Copies of this chain bind each other. A is one copy, B any other.
Amino acid sequence: MPEVLSPGATIGILGGGQLARMMALAAAPLGLKCHIYAPEGDNPAFDVAAHRTVARYEDAAALARFAASVSVVTYEFENVPATTASVLAPLVPVLPGPQALATTQDRLTEKDFIRATGLETPAYRAVDSDADLVAAVEALGRPAVLKTRRMGYDGKGQVMIRPETDLANARRTLGGAPAILEAFVPFEREVSVVAARGRDGTVHAFDVCENEHRDHILARTTVPARLAPAARHAALEHAARLATALDYVGVLAVEFFVVRVEGMERVLVNEIAPRVHNSGHWTIDGAQTSQFEQHIRAIAGWPLGAPQRLGRIVMDNLIGAQADDWQTLLASPGAHLHLYGKAESRPGRKMGHVTRVFAEDVGDEPGETR
C-alpha cells in the first residue's frame, strides 16, 4: 500500500498540459508540491510547479531520478507508454494503477472489461485485417466507426464507415493499425460522469454532465444533464461500478451515449478516461470540491471532499481563436475565465475554458444568488 502523504510531500505528474497544470494548482492549497515530467515542448504546467523535468517518456535514467524525487506519480493522459509505467512502478507508487492504464489504453480491452462488469456498450468487433473489417461491417451494418485500439483522442485515430466508404481504404487511413469497429449508435445526447475513488474504496461522483462536441472536440458541458431519473441513477451507479472493478484510485470519467429504447432513456458506456476530464472542469468554480482537488486527495490517500454542485452550470471550452475573446469574458459578470497559458494558439487546440454558475431554478444571471 502506498504511504499516506503529508503536507510538504511532492507529487509527480507525467505530462505538462492543462490537466497537469490544474492538478498542480489544486495541490498547492493542500500544501503539496508538484514535479512535472514532460518532453520538450509547450508545457503550461511548468509555470505553476515546484520542480520540472524535460525528458522523453522512455528515458529510464530521467524516470528513475524523477521517481526518487516524489512520493507518488500520477498522469494527465491515458497513453502513458508501457515502458514508462514499467520503469516507474517498481520505484514509486503509480496511481491510478497499472490495471486501469492497461485496461483503458486499448479500446478492445476496455470494451471487453466494461461488458464483463455487466454494463452495456455499443456493439463492436475486433479488426486486425481487411477480412476482419468486411466481416465486422457485415455484422454491425453501416454506418459504423472504425477506431484504432490505441492512442486515439478528440476524434483522432477514427474513421466513419458510410454506405459508400471503401473498406480497405478506411483501414489504410488508420495505417493498418489494430482497430475495432463500433456500431453507430443513434444517440440522443452524450453525457459523462466524473467520479473519484479514494484508497479506502469510497466513491464520490459529481453530478451527470451533458456534453456537446464540435468537430469531435468537447465544446460545452452543462450540468445537470437532461436525463430521466432512472438513467441518471444508472450513469452514476455505472461509474462507481467501473471504478470499483478497476480498483481505481483517483478521478476517472465515464462517457455515455443516451439512447431511447421503447420510449425509455438508457445509457450505454462509450469509454473510460482514467484521469481528470474536460467535462469536469466546471467543478473548479461549480462544486464544493474540484475534480483536481479530488484527484490529489485520492492519490495522497486522503479523504475525498464533498462533490455537491453549487448551482446550474455551463462550461464552454475556448478552442483556438475563441480564447482571443478573453477581454469580453473578463468583463462578463459571473464568467469564471481559465486560460491555460499555452504559448501558441492553433485551430482545434484547447486554450482555456469559461464556467458560469447559475442559481438553481432562479433567474438566468450567473451567480445572482449563488
Q: Please tell me if the beta carbons of B352 and A331 are within 8 angstroms of each other in the complex.
A: no
A285 CB to nearest chain B CB (Å):
9
> Which residues of chain B come closer than 8 Å to A50, judged between CB atoms?
46-48
**Contact: B370 with A288, CB < 8 Å?**
yes
Does A333 lie at the interface of the complex (its beta carbon under 8 Å from any beta carbon of B)? yes
Does A28 touch B at the CB level, under 8 Å?
yes
Q: Give the docked Cα–Cα distance between A302 and B367 (Å).
A: 20
Q: A129-137, A172-180, A335-343: which one contacts chain B? A: A335-343
Which B residues touch A49, using CB under 8 A?
47-48
Binary interface encoding of chain A residues 333-364 relative to chain B, with 1 for a CB under 8 A from any of its CBs, else 0: 11001111101000000001000000000000
B306-A330 in contact (CB<8A): no
Do residues A28 and B8 form an inter-chain contact, with CB atoms below 8 A?
A: no
- Kindly state whether residue A310 has any CB partner on chain B within 8 Å: yes
| B339 in contact with A30 (CB, 8 Å) | yes
Contact with B along A1-33 (1 / 0, CB 8 A): 000000110000000000001001100111111
A318 to chain B, nearest CB (A): 10
Whether A367 lies near B288 (C-beta < 8 A) is yes
The answer on a CB contact under 8 Å between A48 and B30 is no
Which of B302, B303, B308, B341 sits near A31, CB closer than 8 Å?
B341
Q: Is the CB of B29 within 8 A of A337?
A: yes
Q: Which residue of B has the minimal Cβ distance to A343? A: B8
- Looking across the interface, which residue of chain B has its beta carbon closest to that of A302? B330
Chain A 304-344 interface 0/1 with B at a Cβ cutoff of 8 Å (1 = within): 00101010000000000001001100110110011111010
Is A297's CB within 8 Å of the partner chain B? yes
Contact B334 A7 (CB under 8 A): no
B367-A308 in contact (CB<8A): yes
Question: Complex formed: what's the CA distance from A308 to B310 in Å?
Answer: 15
Q: Judge whether B8 and A352 touch: CB under 8 Å.
A: no
Given A48-B24, A297-B330, A367-B288, also A30-B337 (CB < 8 A): yes
Cβ–Cβ contact A7 & B339, under 8 A: yes
Q: Is the CB of B8 within 8 A of A341?
A: yes
Which residues of B are found within 8 Å of A326, using beta-carbon distances? 7, 31
Question: CA separation between A25 and B48, bound complex, in Å?
Answer: 8
Asked whether, in the complex, the Cβ of A303 is within 8 Å of the Cβ of B331, the reply is yes
By beta carbon, the residue of chain B nearest A367 is B288
Complex Cα gap A31–B18 (Å): 11
Is B334 within 8 A of A306, CB to CB? yes
Residues A341 and B303 in contact in the complex (CB < 8 Å), given A288-B370, A367-B288: no
A28 near B21: Cβ-Cβ < 8 Å = yes
* Shortest distance between the CB of A292 and any CB in chain B (Å): 12
> Do the beta carbons of B367 and A306 come within 8 Å of each other?
yes
- Tell me the minimal C-beta distance from A313 to chain B in angstroms: 13
- For residue A99, give the distance in angstroms from its CB to the closest CB of chain B: 27
Write the chain B residue with the least CB distance to A331: B303
A326–B300 alpha-carbon span in the complex (Å): 13
**Residues of A that sit less than 8 Å from B by CB:** 7-8, 21, 24-25, 28-34, 46-50, 288, 297, 302-303, 306, 308, 310, 323, 326-327, 330-331, 333-334, 337-341, 343, 352, 367, 370
A-B contact pairs, 18 of them (CB 8 A): A7-B323, A7-B341, A8-B343, A25-B28, A25-B29, A28-B48, A30-B330, A30-B339, A31-B340, A34-B47, A47-B50, A288-B367, A302-B330, A303-B330, A303-B331, A306-B334, A306-B367, A310-B310
Given contacts A302-B327, A303-B331, A310-B310, 4 further A-B contacts (CB under 8 A): A25-B25, A48-B49, A288-B370, A306-B367
